[in-house]
A and B are shown apart, each in its own frame.
Chain A
Amino acid sequence: MSLEQFKNRNVGTQNYKTLDLGETPTSGLDRFKQVAKRTFKRELFVGLYVTMREMINALFRGNMHTVKYPFEKLPISPRYRAIHDMLRLLESGHYRCIGCGLCEKICISNCITMDTRYDENQRKEVSEYTINFGRCIFCGYCAEVCPELAIVHGPRYENASEQRASFSLFEDMLTPIDQLNLQQEYDGFGAVSPNADDNIKKTPLAY
C-alpha cells in the first residue's frame, strides 16, 4: 500500500465495504430461523473457545495482563519528566553542578532557588539549592539547559511524601555517593524508551 492511501481522509472516496449483516427479521418464522442459524453456526461456541483460550494463555503461557504495581513496575520512557536527580561525576564523585544558574534563570515557574559561593580553593560551590515542588510544572527546561548534564529528570514518579522537602533539597536529589556505580546516565530529550521495539505497531489505518 502506498502512503497516499493512508493520507486520504476524505470519507466516501475510499474503497469501503459494508458488512453483510443480512436483513433484520420481521416475521416470527424469520426470527426463529435466525436464532437457529446462529445457534448451529457455532457462534456461541466460538465465544466459549475465546474465553477458554485466553484463560489457558493467561495461566500456562505467561500471558497474564496484570502488573502487580507496587511490586512490579513497567519501564518508563527516558523522556518521562519525574522528580529531578542531581548527578555526580563518575571519576571524582563530586557533584556535576557548576553553579552557573542557568536552570534558575530558565525556570518558568520560578521554583528553583540556588545560591553559590567560592570555597577555599576559589572553586565555585553550591551552597544552597532547592526546587519548590509545589510550583514545579515538570516542563524539563532546567534539564535541557544544563550544560553539564547535572540536573536531569529521574525515574521517581511516585510523588507521595509526608513533606515536600523530602524531594526538594539538593542532598536528597543528589546521587548517594555509595550508589555512584548505579547512577544512570541521562539519555536526554528525544531518546527512545528501553522497550521501544516492543511498542512498535502498525498504525490503525494500515489494517
Chain B
Amino acid sequence: METTLVENLPEVTAAGVLIKAVIIMAVISAIAGFGTYIERKVLAFMQRRLGPMHVGPYGLLQLAADGIKLFTKEDIVPQNANKFIFMIAPIITAATAFIALSAVPVFPDFTIPEFIPLLGGTFVPSIAADLNIGILFVLGMMAAGLYGPLLAGMSQANKWGIIGAARTAVQFLSYEVVTGLSILAPIMIVGSLSFVDFNNAQSAGIGSWLIWQQPVAFVLFLIAGFAETNRTPFDLLEHEAEVVSGYATEYAGMRWGMFFIGEYANMITVSIIAAIVFLGGYSEGTLGWLTIILKVGFFFFLMLWVRASWPHVRPDQLMWLCWKVLMPIALINILITALVILV
C-alpha cells in the first residue's frame, strides 16, 4: 500500500536498513537495561524507599554493575534438562522481541552526513521494515515470543518450570484473542494495517486521536498488552510467591538476562503500538518525535505504577476474564464500530 509520506522520502537502501537494525539493537537493549533501573527506582519511590543509590550518582551505574554480574556468572545447564532447547529458549524471547521492533517506527529518519566516509549520504528510515501489514507482523512476532518461556519451562526438568510453562500456555490462549479483536476496531476505522497509515490518520491533532472514537478498544488493548508482556496483574509465569520464578527458575547469568531484555523490549513495543494506534503517534520533526517518546514513557510508567499498586490474578481468573468478559466486550465493540461505519 503506497502512502503519501513514503513518496517524498529518499530511497531506502539495504545499508540504511542495516544501520537502522544496529541502532535498534544497541539503543533498545540499552533502554531495556535502563528500564530495570527505572523500574527499581519507581517501585522504591512508591514504597517510600530510595532504590539503588550506591553505584554511581543516584545509582545510575547499577545497570553496569548488574551487566557485569550477569556476564561473568557461570552458565549453568541443569543435569536432566534438554540442553539444546534450554540454551536457545532465551534467545527466542530476546530475538522475537527485537524482530517485532523492526516493524514499528523507532526514532526519526535521518540521512548520514556526506563527510562521513563509506556511509555518507545513506538514508536511515524510521522503520527498519516498513511493512504494509505492520500491526499483524508485530503482534505475530510478540506471540511467537511466548515460545521462549514455554520451551524454557518444559526443557529444564524442574517442577516450577513446568508450572510456569503451563501458565504460559494458559496466558497465551487467553490474551491473544483479546489483543487481536480489540485492535481490529481501530483497523476497521483506518482501513489499513500499516503503522504509517495509522499515524497519518491521526495527524490532525489531539481531537483526531483514535482513543476518543475507540475508548473501549483502548482499555481492552491495554489489558491484553499487560498480559502480553507478563506485567503485574497478569504475571502468572514467574510469580515468586507461587512458582519460585516460573519458567526462569533454573536460568542464571546472561541467559536469564536475555529473558529480561526480551521482556523489557516487549514492554517498549506494546507502549509504541498503543501510542501509535490510539494516541496519535509521532509527527514530523524533533518535537513530533518527542511527543511519541513522552507517550511511550507514559505507558512504560503506567506498567510500573500498576505493578506497585495492584495484586495479581489467578490463572483461572485470567482465563475467565479474557474469554468471558473481555472477548464479548471486544466483539460487541467491533459490531458497533461496523454498524457505525456502515450507517
Is A68 at the interface (CB under 8 A from chain B)? yes
A65 touches B48 (CB 8 A): yes
Stretch of A47-55, A123-131, A157-165, A190-198 on the interface side? A47-55
Q: Number of residues in B with C-beta < 8 Å to the partner?
A: 17
Nearest chain A CB to B80 CB, angstrom units? 41
Provide the residues of chain B in CB contact with A1, threshold 8 Å: none
| Complex Cα–Cα for A109 and B311 (A) | 52
B325 touches A55 (CB 8 A): no
Stretch of B93-101, B132-140, B151-159, B302-310 on the interface side? B302-310
Interface residues of B in 26-58 (CB under 8 A from A): 42, 45-50, 53
Contact string against B for A residues 59-91, beta-carbon threshold 8 Å, 1 for contact and 0 otherwise: 100011110100000000000000000000000
A50 touches B309 (CB 8 A): yes
**A contact set with B: CB distance below 8 Å:** 28, 31-32, 35, 44, 47-48, 50-52, 54-55, 57-59, 63-66, 68
| Besides the known contacts A48-B306, A48-B309, A59-B45, 14 further A-B residue pairs in the complex with CB atoms under 8 A apart | A47-B309, A47-B310, A48-B305, A51-B305, A51-B308, A54-B45, A55-B42, A55-B46, A58-B46, A58-B49, A65-B48, A66-B48, A66-B50, A68-B50
29 contacts across the A-B interface (CB closer than 8 A): A28-B324, A31-B320, A35-B321, A44-B309, A44-B310, A48-B305, A48-B306, A48-B310, A50-B309, A51-B46, A51-B305, A51-B309, A52-B46, A52-B305, A54-B45, A54-B46, A55-B42, A55-B46, A57-B48, A58-B45, A58-B48, A58-B49, A64-B49, A64-B50, A65-B47, A65-B49, A66-B50, A68-B50, A68-B53
**B contact set with A: CB distance below 8 Å:** 42, 45-50, 53, 305-306, 308-310, 320-321, 324-325
